[in-house]
């Protein structure tokens, strides 16, 4: 995820302080990975340097100065370009799981155990996500669906690999 583009997009609704940006980000996108304040302020400094935001005001009070940031026309154009650019699909051609299965075969360990252990972990994750989806709002449901579909694809791969384990053993460890 591009934190910079996400913060720019949040600024399109109006100027905000760094604290407000962090809170909005965490509320909408950071359920599992909230931003650290340092990430917000270092990102805002970079966006400011690149002319994508401006300081719209500075408030002084009992604590440190609070800068309010606003998106520039260049920032709006940058967000639009980012939104219009498709993400590269992740083919997972060198997954850690595949590596573990092949190494288990090469070292004469039980690759079936590796697959079974991973299957159990995937199913555990799916139960947690399904429960979260059931209790969540629409945004949380969509996020959980995305993760669940990926886990389902992984499970299909685990089953297919388990069915082909003897052939894979012959191919990698003759």
Residue 11 and residue 69 in contact, taking contact as beta carbons nearer than 8 Å: yes
Q: What is the pLDDT of residue 121?
A: 94
DSSP conformational letter for 13: T
Chain-centre distance for alpha carbon 159: 26
For residue range 124-150, what is the model confidence (pLDDT) as tens digits? 999 999 999 999 999 999 999 999 999
Quick one: CA dihedral 79, 37, 32, 88, positive or negative? positive
Q: How far apart are CA 51 and CA 56, in angstroms?
A: 13
Is the pTM higher than 0.95? The answer reads no
Measured between alpha carbons, how far is 174 from 172 in angstroms, rounded to an integer?
6
Quote the pLDDT of residue 25.
92
Using one digit for the tens of pLDDT, what is the confidence trace for 91-113? 776 688 888 999 999 988 999 99
Q: What's the pLDDT tens digit per position in 146-157?
A: 999 999 999 999
Residue 93 has what pLDDT?
Answer: 60
- Count CA atoms closer than 13 A to 145's CA, side-chain side: 7
Q: State the angle between helix axes of 73-84 and 3-11 in degrees (0 to 180), rounded to the nearest 10.
A: 120
Least confident of 14-18, 54-58, 91-95, 111-115: 91-95
- How many Cα atoms sit within 13 Å of 22 on the Cβ side? 14
């Amino acid at each position: 995820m591009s934190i910079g583009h996400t913060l720019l997009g949040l600024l399109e609704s109006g100027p905000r302080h760094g604290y407000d940006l962090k809170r909005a980000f965490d509320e909408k996108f950071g359920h599992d990975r909230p931003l650290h304040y340092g990430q917000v302020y270092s990102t805002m400094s970079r966006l400011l340097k690149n002319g994508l935001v401006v300081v719209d005001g500075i408030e002084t009070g009992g604590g440190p100065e609070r800068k309010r940031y606003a998106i520039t026309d260049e920032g709006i154009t940058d967000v639009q370009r980012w939104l219009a650019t498709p993400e590269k699909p992740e083919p997972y051609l060198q997954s850690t799981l595949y590596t573990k299965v092949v190494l288990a075969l090469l070292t004469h360990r039980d690759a079936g155990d590796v697959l079974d252990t991973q299957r159990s972990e995937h199913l555990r994750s799916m139960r947690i996500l399904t429960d979260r989806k059931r209790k969540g709002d629409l945004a949380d449901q969509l996020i959980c669906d995305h993760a669940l579909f990926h886990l389902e694809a992984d499970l299909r791969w685990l089953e297919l690999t388990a069915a082909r384990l003897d052939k894979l053993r012959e191919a990698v460890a003759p």
